[in-house]
Amino acid sequence: MSAAKLKLELSDGKQVEVEHGISPHDLAQRVNGELADRAIAAKLDGEIVDLDRPLERSGRIEFLFEDDEDQDSLYVLRHSTAHVLATAVRSIWPDAGIGFGPPIADGFYYDFDVDSPFTPEDLEKIEERMKEVVAADEPFERREVERQEARELFSDDPYKLERLEEIPEGETISIYRDGAFVDLCRGPHLPSTGAVKHFKILHSAGAYWRGDERRAMLQRIYGTAFFEKKDLEEHLRRLEEARKRDHRIIGKQLDLFSIQDDVGPGLIQWHPKGAMIQFLLRRFLEDELLKRGYDFVYSPHIAREALFRRSGHLQAYSEVMFPAMESEGEKDNYRLKPMNCPFHMSIYASGQRSYRDLPVRYAEIASDYRNEKSGTLHGMLRVRGLTMDDAHIFCRPDQVEDEIYGMLDLVANIYGTFGLEYRLDFATRPAKRIGSDQVWDEAEDALRAAIERRGLTYAVDPGGGAFYGPKIDVKFVDAIGREWQGATIQLDFVLPERFDLNFVGSDNQKHRPVMIHRAIYGSFERFIGVLIEHFAGAFPLWLAPVQVRLIPVTDDFIDAAREVAVALREAGVRVELDDRSETVSYRIRDGELQKIPYLGVIGQREADAGTVAVRKRGAEKKQVVLPLAEFIEQVTAENRTRALG
RNA sequence: GCUGACGUAGCUCAAUUGGCAGAGCAGCUGAUUUGUAAUCAGCAGGUUGCGGGUUCGAGUCCCGCCGUCAGCUCCA
């Protein structure tokens, strides 16, 4: 070991010279005692290290504290809490095998190999035992070991051994001990188990070792941890809130859709109110597409297998295609379509195309069917029958950038209307691909140029593109923080080849067009599912299935209310009359629970004055009395501008 | 698909050790005519997901199927 001094730069810019092997804790002690008391871990040139880890190189050192803004401190806490969990489980089930136990976005998990799955009672017992582990305040001891020693230490833990053998020669192998529990672990950890404060075990479920369904199923326990009690409570409250926003629950309460046993899993039945939302989204998009030079096409739900063989779907996509329908006496079987591209290719190929015709933009709102694995189905967000807002653009290579630009503009327009946050993933050429490097260069440059011309930021997913072309994925986030794929823009070098598409150029020669697949909503099912959660069912006026509900105070004013309803309806407003023989309070409550944007009460005063007593959803002022004409103007203006509320 | 939990009226949920399937809301009928988040009464509503089995007796126990939910990527 070298006795040379280390030069460390502190976060305030001060340089200190210290002896080789000093621990961050001792360093903090030297700087000031208060710092040493508060620090929970340190960072050397951005790498998180334990407080007692000997420092062996110069660099920039920072300390992590409980109240740091970023996630690094929480990461350490949750990683340590996962070890506390494993410590507790091992003390109850000494023979439990251990898998991985990392911190994750909102907490941590640990995988165990046990004879029978954990019951809810087991989880309670584990949580109690964890509290004892915390109370024991055992230090987390880090130790570097030789490979052979690690092999012996984990000789009973096949999963750890497997991981151990993957660590390259020459890399440090570290183990962490707290009390009786020893784990192969890169760390870092809190100083001791006592530093784990507020945690909760959430649930357990089976998880394949390394996510591979051919391998053993372990039992994964999920939990979360925070430094402050209030943060834990806030997190649990958010989970509860997310549960209430669940589109499956709201969809039932507001009678938007259902999934019926007798129809089949993953197949959405759109009830009138849900269908109205789909209709409105569809009309909004279709109007935009007409302005942007798209042509509408319609294609059948089924086609001969030969079509999908030519497109390559039968070879590459067959596991999600429903089985063939036999057709007696026909030369070929039929298949339900999982995508629309083959049909649009076929339409394009049906006639001669001139370079003057390009770009050709075929748009279709189409029903596709995919036999997704049963366990992956999830309400409207993952279904077997989906309604895509699909389009295929055929253009010259020099038109690609402008086309992409136009699509990103459409995405911004549509998503902005809903106030949805989204981000872009730009997936570039994979190792295994078709097409020359020159083609890929041009394509990627065009995509990048279009994104940058719009001033958007994006993440690059190197090698994430399909073998047939690069793509831009638009990801948006639902109420529980899950990220879903929304819009997708995808270049395709394969299908124009397979369908031998061409156009006649100004040189009177045949040329291959570039093809772009794109969807804006993605699917109406998923998009509306996310919108339900995004708005918690309280849709902006222009999307609300019922925009105004009128409540006559007594039966004497039903006629007056009916006249108001007619006037509203003639102005294009979706209006409903609640003339049930219930109290005003009852009907107001019902209207509020149904999240109707405007409730209008009509009694003697309003009938006499030609006004409506308007109650706007979510408004500060509970009630405003407006002349009918003014009310109509307010509602229609809000509708026209697609105001968010 | 796999592992586990679950499946009772339209909805949300009850129903001791196996012992007469219930409540609230919604619905229907009647009364009430109501002024901004639940008026009162009555009625009706079920092959307890489906099919087998054990038992004198099954919502409850056993087997099979269907479905729902959670998880199965986040690399010691």
Give the nucleotide nearest to A211 (CA→C1').
Answer: B72
- Classify burial at A429, counting beta carbons within 10 Å of its beta carbon; exposed 0-12, middle 13-18, buried 19 or more: buried
Q: Taking the domains of chain A in order of start, what are their residue ranges? A: 6-65, 72-243, 269-301+337-535, 541-640
- Summarised one tens digit per residue, pLDDT across range A195-217 is 888 898 888 888 888 888 778 88
Percent of chain A with pLDDT over 70: 98
Give the β-pairing of A15-19 and A5-9: antiparallel
Residue A126 in contact with residue A132, Cβ under 8 Å?
no
Residue A203: both structure tokens together = 């649930």
Closest amino acid to nucleotide B34 (CA–C1'): A583
Segment (H or E) for A183 = strand A181-184
pLDDT grade, residue A572 (50/70/90)? very high
Please give the pLDDT value at position A407: 94
Nucleotide nearest to A163 (CA to C1'): B76
- What is the tens place of the pLDDT at every residue in A240-291? 888 888 999 999 999 999 998 888 999 999 999 999 999 999 999 999 999 9
Edge-to-edge strand order for the sheet containing A422-427? A295-296, A360-369, A385-395, A514-523, A483-492, A471-477, A422-427, A458-461
pLDDT of residue A607: 96
Per-residue pLDDT tens digits for A524-559: 999 999 999 889 999 999 999 999 999 999 999 999
The CATH class that applies to domain A6-65 reads alpha beta
Q: In which element (H, E) is residue A417 found? A: helix A400-418
Give A62 CA → B65 C1' in Å: 60
ipTM value for the complex: 0.92
Q: Which nucleotide is nearest to A145 (CA to C1')?
A: B76
pLDDT digits (tens, 9 = 90+) for A499-532: 999 999 999 999 999 999 999 999 999 999 999 9
Q: Which nucleotide is nearest to A150 (CA to C1')?
A: B76
Q: Spell out the residues 6+ positions from residue A101 whose beta carbon is closer than 8 angstroms to its own.
A: A79, A82, A83, A85, A86, A108, A109, A110, A111, A183
Q: State, as a whole number of angstroms, the distance between the CA of A450 and the C1' of B7.
A: 52
A129 CA, B18 C1': Å apart: 36
Q: What tens digit of pLDDT does each residue of A121-172 get?
A: 788 888 889 999 999 999 998 888 888 888 888 888 888 888 888 888 877 8
Residue A629 has pLDDT above 80, yes or no: yes
- For chain A, what is the mean pLDDT? 88
Share of chain A above pLDDT 90, in %: 49
What CATH class is the domain A269-301+337-535?
A: alpha beta
Q: How far is the CA of A273 from the C1' of B46 (A)?
A: 29
CA→C1' distance for A138 and B53 (Å): 55
Can you tell me which residue has its alpha carbon closest to the C1' of nucleotide B72? A207
* Residue A395 known to bind ligand: no
Q: Residue A561: its pLDDT value, please?
A: 96
Q: How far is the CA of A465 from the C1' of B75 (A)?
A: 22
Nucleotide nearest to A622 (CA to C1'): B36
Statement: residue A599 has pLDDT above 90: yes
Mean pLDDT, rounded, for A30-51: 75
- Considering only CA atoms, which residue is closest to the C1' of nucleotide B38? A586
Q: State the nucleotide closest to A243 in CA–C1' terms.
A: B69
Q: How many Å does it take to go from CA A374 to C1' B52?
A: 25
Please name the nucleotide lying closest to A261, CA to C1'. B67
Q: Which two tokens stand for residue A401?
A: 């950038």
Examine the pLDDT at A40 and tell me if it is beyond 50.
Answer: yes
| Run of H or E residues at A252 | helix A247-253
pLDDT of residue A1: 44
Q: Is A313 annotated as a binding residue?
A: no
Residue A344: the pLDDT is 96
**Which CATH code for domain A541-640?**
3.40.50.800
**Half-sphere exposure for A484 (CA within 13 Å, toward CB):** 25
The answer on whether A189 is annotated among ligand-binding residues is no
Residue A137 Ramachandran class (φ > 0 left, ψ -120 to 50 alpha, else beta):
left
Averaged over A576-589, what is the pLDDT? 95
**Stated in angstroms, how far is A254 CA from B40 C1'?**
28
A166: nearest nucleotide, CA–C1' criterion: B76
Tokens of A454: 């719009």
CA of A113 to C1' of B55 (A): 39
Nucleotides of B under 7 A from a protein CB: 1-5, 11-12, 27, 31-39, 66-76
Neighbouring residues of A200: CB distance < 8 A, sequence distance ≥ 6: A127, A223, A224, A225, A232, A236
Res A23 pLDDT > 60: yes
Q: How far is CA A267 from CA A272, A275, A530, in A?
A: 16, 14, 17
What is the nearest nucleotide to A176, using C1' and CA?
A: B76
* Predicted pLDDT at A118: 83
CA of A120 to C1' of B14 (A): 21
CATH 2.60.40.10 fits A72-243, yes or no: no
Residue A154: CA count within 13 A, CB half-sphere: 27
The nucleotide minimizing the C1' distance to residue A217's CA is B3
Cβ-contact A198, A227 below 8 angstroms:
yes
Write the burial class of residue A82 (CB in 10 Å: 0-12 exposed, 13-18 middle, 19+ buried).
Answer: buried
- A364 CA to B18 C1' in angstroms comes to 59
Between the CA of A320 and the C1' of B49, what is the distance in angstroms? 27
How far: A252 CA to B23 C1' (Å)? 22
pLDDT tens digits along A338-380? 999 999 999 999 999 999 999 999 999 999 999 998 888 999 9
- CA separation for the pair A614, A50 (Å, rounded): 62
Whether A266 and A383 have beta carbons less than 8 Å apart is answered as yes
Q: Which residue is nearest to nucleotide B37 (CA to C1')?
A: A589
Cα separation, A47 vs A45, in Å, equals 6
| CA A64 to C1' B75, whole Å | 24
Closest nt to A249 (CA→C1')?
B11
For residue A395, pLDDT over 60 is answered with yes
Global confidence as pTM:
0.88
